[in-house]
Amino acid sequence: SRTFQDFTRFLDEWAAASPDILKYFGGDSLTNRSHGQSLMKYFESRYKVRGLYFMDEPETALSPKSQLMLLKLLSQASSSGHNQFIIVSHSPILLACPGASIYTFDTAPVSPIGYYDTQYYRIYRDFLNNPESFLAADNNID
């Protein structure tokens, strides 16, 4: 997140000399938004460009609603076949991307895993089904 904050500050400095650069990001400075909002604006503008994108835990600054928006954006951007995404994520929302191949690094060698078999899906499912059980003194959260 620090790198992205630095990027938004540099972008403002560049925009002082060339204001048109902000049109790429909706016409406004990214520093005028929350961290999550500025990330979403960046994603929306960037993924219009064809490419191979590497993302490391993009969900960290995003609310669940924003994660759903990103999921939709990723699905749309990749459905044309012009964009590919390699994403490291702990978010069961992002792991649910249609057509995604999910791999677990919890075993050697790295291997494919089904969405419903991921630790992150199971933890969220269990918590949402019974949040009180996670607060019990005898619950060992692994």
Q: Are 36 and 63 in contact (CB under 8 A)?
A: yes
Query: Mean pLDDT over all residues of the chain?
Result: 88
Q: Write the pLDDT tens digit of every residue in 105-119.
A: 998 999 999 999 999
Q: Write the pLDDT tens digit of every residue in 64-109.
A: 999 999 999 999 999 888 899 999 999 999 999 999 999 999 989 9
Number of residues that this document lists for the chain: 142
What's the confidence (pLDDT) of residue 137? Answer: 66
In 3D, which of 61, 13, 56 has the Cα closest to residue 37?
61
Lookup: tokens for 57: 């835990």
What's the confidence (pLDDT) of residue 59? Answer: 93
Measured distance CA(10)–CA(21) in Å, rounded? 11
Measured distance CA(121)–CA(115) in Å, rounded? 7
Has this prediction a pTM greater than 0.85? no
Residue ranges per domain, the chain? 2-100
Q: Are 42 and 73 in contact (CB under 8 A)?
A: no
